[in-house]
């Protein structure tokens, strides 16, 4: 198994989670991930540095996602279409995420969907690591307020 | 449950489909042992939407800098599979694209939908022709309905495919014709004009404007006939889309008939403006100006003459209450329409050495903006060739944004001066003797939007790009803009400042030398560029927030330059170019168009003798190769001298040299880089 294949196997899921969280729908997320994986493979598939390949995959996916956002596709609610039955808790969180601006949605996705470190997020987005950290905490506060404010029982209304 | 725990729960519930994982794994595995040297291209592995895959003879080694140039004549198509092929000699016209993705094409039979080689006739040609035998011009498709509009014998015809009715919207007259109709939304304050002059110079333009309820076809006539001066008149459009007023003709068109809107024809060269509520129209000429009250457009028109000789630069506040104008070129007056005439407020009268220009007022009519212009470098005489100035206030009328460009003629050289009146009249920036090709105001969409929600952050960042014969210069200005006028009282001048950073990049000092060793400055002639983009004739530029693409003619070649902007994200920069670079040199080429997307995909349409070609440069290649474009998709382009890019598909009309002579074909490509085409080397 080549280095790229190994990175692919370990990264594809987190890559997809990031794209889905950022873009808000399965179709665009899959397209973005497909495009970025194949591009990175085609361009850098012979490289062996796993960290570098992972960074390239995230960067390419981010660019592909930004492409799609800039084409002004309406962002649907983050319901996972009809592909799967999801519990109310998951549906609420997807909707809550969809209410965030795209830049905030991206940071949350990178941190909690893909579990990147603050440093990795900073390198990817070009934002200072400490700024990333403070922004994410601020976004979490905002999400808490949104959730509580709309909380009727356990559901986000 | 804590919000972090809820996010973890969401994460666990999010995973890709097994189909996606497997298909990507298969693509990687299958191609792992077939990897081509990257300089020779790539295989589009995804893209179920790809309608056509074209294998093009690649000449990649010739793309690189240092004498390696792209020769369009070397390109041939092999293994082409067109979406649709016309009959030999048949002229195809791409009419548009339906919402379901079907292409609409005009063939010898009529308007058809085409798909994978098959066609379905929608509108027979006879229906479009009616009783006229005149040639049908370029057809435009109504994006909201099954309707088509086109020019025929100087008339503008609307064909409703649902009702199967053919209506002549505008009839050609003895001294005028109509041409180039289109569907468009007209917005104020800047009238959007459709169409262009026709060769005999007799006509002019037709547009269709948008009403609140539906696309309502309205013909707009720009009177001018053979008078070039008149053609420069600016029609004004009332915002509700019901009426179109043409000052040059003193005519108002409401549906069918023209009626006089002004008792007398306005002066040539006047520049009419209609207020956003459609209540007032103002027309300024050399001998003053007049204000027309359009209480009931088309029927009850009342004229109120305000200006007198020596009055100029009138501007009406958005609520139609105030009028600001200059008297004798030095006094700024404000008239309150609600007060008795003759009680004008004289704002200032002590600047007779300067030219004043009232250009904007606030939505609340609280402020009026004006600026002071002075001769450059102390010259007593200066000729203004072109001047554009726009000013606008934020919603709270607290901040003013203004941009200004001025071109002074000096031989063929254009001086460009940018002036931001930031509290001090000296706050201007004179640019060197260069050709201004592009400017970008960071985040700028509209001044109102720029300032919206940012009352404490009025720093405007402006990127300017200049091209001199031997360098590309970028200048970034940071303007802390805090000035406005309240009836003559200057306010908010604190912290006004302009700071700037600039960088000059030598494009290629050797590349601009012609064979005799001399410097070549000739520029390629291009089609007109978008109105919002500043440029000069003979140079192509396209820009998005993150990048600028410039095409410059150098000798017989065209050099394609891509430059980042101050707004280019670092993450994007990591995959792209850090500084302006020549990314392609097209030998013996004539440029037709250039287009760059936010993702730095660049399309260049050009012709090399009889070989119309589209060059595609993708963003990944730029970084990998350092500067030259290594990945291209080159496609002959002849039937349709234009393309769409950035939505869903790129459509190209071509003539396949391997097909019978004259056979037009239409190709459809996905815009994603990965599914565009496969480039190989023979």
Using one digit for the tens of pLDDT, what is the confidence trace for B623-641? 443 332 323 333 333 322 2
Whether the CB-CB separation of B70 and B63 falls below 8 Å is answered with: yes
Question: What does the block give as tokens for B388?
Answer: 């554009």
Cβ neighbours, 10 Å, residue A138? 12
pLDDT band (50, 70, 90) for residue B107: confident
CA B401 to chain centre: 21
Pick from B580, B578, B575, B579: which is nearest to B599 by CA? B575
Q: Measured between alpha carbons, how far is residue B523 from residues B213, B467, B553 in Å?
A: 46, 11, 4
Best residue of A34, A79, A99, A132 to probe chain B, by most B CBs closer than 10 Å: A34
Q: Residue B330 and residue B180: Cα distance in Å, rounded?
A: 42
Question: What does the block give as tokens for A65?
Answer: 């996602």
Q: Map residue B313 onto helix, strand or coil.
A: strand
CB of A87 within 8 Å of any CB in chain B? yes
Cβ neighbours, 10 Å, residue B334? 20
Q: Residue B584 and residue B561: Cα distance in Å, rounded?
A: 7
**Chain A residues within an 8 Å CB radius of B3:** 140, 143-144, 147
Whether the CB-CB separation of A79 and A87 falls below 8 Å is answered with: no
pLDDT band (50, 70, 90) for residue A19: very high
Whether the CB-CB separation of B17 and A30 falls below 8 Å is answered with: yes
pLDDT band (50, 70, 90) for residue B124: very high
Range of A109-123, B187-201, B355-369 with top mean pLDDT: A109-123
Q: Measured between alpha carbons, how far is residue A66 from residues B443, B456, B675 in Å?
A: 16, 28, 18
> Judging by DSSP bridges, how do beta strands B678-680 and B55-57 pair with one another?
parallel
Closest CA in chain B for residue A16: B16
CB of B383 within 8 Å of any CB in chain A? no
B3 CB-side CA count, 13 A: 20
- Give pLDDT tens digits for B560-577: 777 666 556 665 565 556
Q: Which positions 89-118 of A are in contact with B (Cβ < 8 Å)?
A: 89-90, 92-94, 97, 108, 112-113, 115
A8 and B4: CB-CB below 8 Å?
Answer: no
Closest by Cβ to B28, choosing from A26, A41, A124:
A41
Closest by Cβ to B14, choosing from A17, A35, A59:
A17
pLDDT band (50, 70, 90) for residue B470: very low
- What residues pair up with B180 in beta bridges, in sequence order? none
Question: What does the block give as tokens for B65?
Answer: 């800098």
Pick from B326, B320, B325, B314: which is nearest to B283 by CA? B314
Whether the CB-CB separation of A78 and B653 falls below 8 Å is answered with: no
Best residue of A63, A79, A95, A99 to probe chain B, by most B CBs closer than 10 Å: A63
Taking the alpha carbons at both ends of chain B, their separation in whole angstroms is 62
**Chain A residues within an 8 Å CB radius of B33:** none
Best residue of B1, B5, B16, B646 to probe chain A, by most A CBs closer than 10 Å: B16
Q: Map residue A40 onto helix, strand or coil.
A: helix
Closest CA in chain B for residue A73: B647
- Give pLDDT tens digits for A23-75: 888 878 888 888 888 878 877 777 778 888 888 888 888 877 877 776 544 44
**Chain A residues within an 8 Å CB radius of B14:** 16-17, 20-21, 80, 113
A20 and B32: CB-CB below 8 Å?
Answer: no
Q: What is the pLDDT of residue B9?
A: 86
Whether the CB-CB separation of B631 and B641 falls below 8 Å is answered with: no
Q: What is the DSSP string of A77-109?
A: -S--TTTS---HHHHHHHHHHHTS-HHHHHHHI
Question: What does the block give as tokens for B145?
Answer: 């309905």
Backbone angles phi, psi at A70, to 5 degrees: -75, -20
pLDDT band (50, 70, 90) for residue B416: very low
Q: Which positions 45-64 of A are in contact with B (Cβ < 8 Å)?
A: 45-46, 59-60, 62-63
Question: What does the block give as tokens for B415?
Answer: 């001086």
Q: Is the pLDDT of residue B433 over 90?
A: no
Pick from A157, A152, A126, A147: which is nearest to A55 by CA? A126
B20 and A33: CB-CB below 8 Å?
Answer: yes
* Tokens 């922004």 found at: A135
Closest CA in chain B for residue A4: B28
B674 and A34: CB-CB below 8 Å?
Answer: yes
**Chain A residues within an 8 Å CB radius of B35:** 42, 45-46
B24 and A143: CB-CB below 8 Å?
Answer: no
Exposure class string for B508-530: b at 16+ Cβ within 10 A, else e: beebbeeeeeeebbebbebeebe
Q: What is the DSSP string of B338-358?
A: TSPTT--EEEE---TTSEEEE
Q: Order of strands, edge to edge, in the sheet holding B649-655?
A: B84-85, B664-670, B649-655
Q: Residue B302 and residue B305: Cα distance in Å, rounded?
A: 10
CB of B531 within 8 Å of any CB in chain A? no
> Packing angle between helix A118-125 and helix A50-70, nearest 10 degrees?
50
**Chain A residues within an 8 Å CB radius of B9:** 89-90, 93
Using CA of residue B653, residue B658, residue B660, residue B662, what is the dihedral sign?
positive
> Which of the residue ranges B322-336, B504-518, B593-607 would you say has the lowest mean pLDDT?
B504-518
CB of A4 within 8 Å of any CB in chain B? yes
Residues 6+ apart with CB under 8 A from B133: none
Question: What does the block give as tokens for B590?
Answer: 């004539």
- The residue that leads in pLDDT, B496 or B287, is B287
> Judging by DSSP bridges, how do beta strands B413-419 and B400-410 pair with one another?
antiparallel
């Amino acid at each position: 198994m080549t280095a790229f294949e190994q990175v692919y196997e370990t990264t594809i899921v987190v890559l997809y989670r990031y794209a889905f969280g950022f873009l808000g729908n399965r179709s665009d997320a899959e397209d973005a991930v497909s495009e970025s994986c194949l591009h990175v493979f085609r361009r850098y598939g012979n490289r062996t540095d796993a960290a570098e390949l992972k960074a390239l995959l995230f960067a390419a996916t981010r660019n592909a996602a930004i492409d799609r956002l800039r084409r002004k596709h309406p962002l649907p609610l983050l319901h996972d279409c009809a592909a799967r039955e999801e519990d109310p808790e998951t549906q609420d969180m997807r909707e809550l995420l969809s209410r965030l601006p795209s830049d905030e949605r991206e940071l949350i996705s990178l941190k909690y969907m893909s579990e990147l470190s603050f440093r990795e997020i900073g390198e990817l987005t070009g934002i200072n690591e400490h700024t990333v950290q403070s922004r994410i905490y601020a976004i979490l506060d905002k999400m808490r307020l949104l959730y509580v404010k709309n909380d009727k029982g356990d559901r986000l209304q | 449950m804590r919000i972090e725990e809820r996010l973890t729960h969401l994460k666990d519930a999010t995973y890709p489909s097994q189909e996606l994982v497997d298909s990507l794994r298969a693509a990687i595995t299958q191609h792992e042992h077939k990897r081509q040297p990257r300089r020779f291209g790539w295989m589009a592995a995804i893209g179920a939407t790809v309608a056509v895959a074209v294998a093009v003879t690649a000449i990649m080694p010739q793309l690189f800098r240092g004498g390696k140039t792209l020769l369009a004549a070397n390109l041939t198509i092999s293994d082409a599979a067109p979406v649709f092929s016309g009959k030999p000699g048949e002229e195809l016209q791409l009419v548009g694209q339906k919402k379901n993705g079907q292409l609409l094409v005009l063939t010898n039979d009529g308007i058809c939908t085409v798909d994978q080689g098959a066609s379905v006739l929608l509108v027979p040609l006879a229906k479009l022709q009616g009783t006229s035998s005149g040639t049908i011009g370029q057809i435009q498709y109504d994006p909201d309905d099954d309707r088509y509009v086109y020019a025929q014998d100087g008339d503008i015809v609307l064909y409703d495919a649902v009702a199967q009715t053919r209506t002549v919207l505008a009839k050609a007259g003895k001294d005028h014709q109509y041409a180039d109709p289109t569907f468009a939304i007209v917005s104020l304050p800047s009238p959007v004009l459709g169409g262009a002059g026709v060769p005999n110079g007799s006509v002019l333009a037709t547009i269709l404007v948008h009403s609140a309820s539906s696309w309502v076809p309205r013909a707009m006539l720009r009177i001018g006939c053979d008078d070039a001066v008149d053609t420069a008149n600016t029609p004004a459009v009332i915002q509700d889309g019901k009426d179109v007023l043409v000052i040059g003709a003193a005519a108002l068109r409401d549906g069918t008939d023209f009626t006089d809107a002004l008792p007398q024809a306005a002066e040539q060269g006047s520049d009419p403006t209609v207020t956003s509520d459609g209540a007032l129209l103002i027309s300024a000429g050399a001998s003053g100006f007049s204000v027309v009250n359009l209480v009931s457009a088309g029927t009850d028109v009342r004229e109120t003459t305000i200006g007198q000789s020596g009055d100029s630069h009138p501007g009406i506040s958005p609520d139609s209450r105030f009028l600001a104008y200059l008297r004798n070129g030095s006094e700024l007056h404000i008239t309150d329409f609600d007060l008795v005439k003759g009680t004008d407020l004289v704002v200032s009268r002590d600047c007779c050495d300067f030219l004043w220009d009232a250009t904007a007022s606030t939505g609340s009519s609280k402020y009026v903006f004006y600026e002071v212009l002075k001769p450059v470098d102390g010259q007593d005489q200066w000729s203004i060739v072109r001047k554009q100035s726009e000013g606008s206030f934020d919603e709270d009328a607290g901040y003013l944004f203004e941009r200004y460009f001025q071109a002074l003629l000096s031989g063929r050289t254009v001086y460009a001066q940018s002036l931001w009146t930031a509290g001090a009249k000296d706050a201007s920036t004179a640019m060197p003797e260069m050709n201004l090709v592009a400017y970008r105001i960071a985040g700028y969409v509209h001044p109102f939007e720029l300032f919206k929600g940012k009352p404490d952050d009025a720093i405007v960042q402006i990127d300017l790009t200049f091209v001199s014969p031997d360098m590309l210069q970028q200048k970034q200005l940071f303007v802390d803009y805090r000035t406005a006028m309240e009836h003559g009282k200057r306010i908010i001048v604190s912290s006004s400042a302009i700071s700037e950073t600039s960088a000059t990049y030598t494009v290629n000092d050797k590349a601009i030398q012609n064979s005799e060793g001399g410097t070549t400055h000739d520029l390629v002639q291009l089609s007109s560029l978008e109105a919002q983009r500043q440029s000069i004739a003979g140079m192509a530029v396209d820009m998005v927030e993150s990048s600028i693409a410039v095409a410059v003619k150098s000798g017989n070649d065209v050099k394609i330059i891509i430059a980042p902007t101050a707004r280019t994200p670092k993450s994007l920069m990591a995959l792209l170019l850090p500084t302006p670079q020549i990314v392609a040199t097209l030998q013996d080429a004539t440029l037709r168009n250039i287009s760059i997307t936010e993702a730095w995909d660049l399309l260049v349409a050009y012709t090399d003798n009889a070989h119309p070609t589209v060059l595609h440069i993708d963003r990944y290649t730029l970084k990998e190769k350092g500067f030259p474009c290594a990945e291209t998709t080159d496609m002959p382009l002849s039937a349709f001298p234009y393309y769409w890019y950035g939505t869903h598909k790129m459509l190209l009309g071509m003539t396949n040299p391997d097909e019978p002579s004259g056979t037009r074909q239409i190709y459809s490509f996905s815009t994603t880089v990965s599914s565009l085409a496969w480039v190989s080397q023979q």
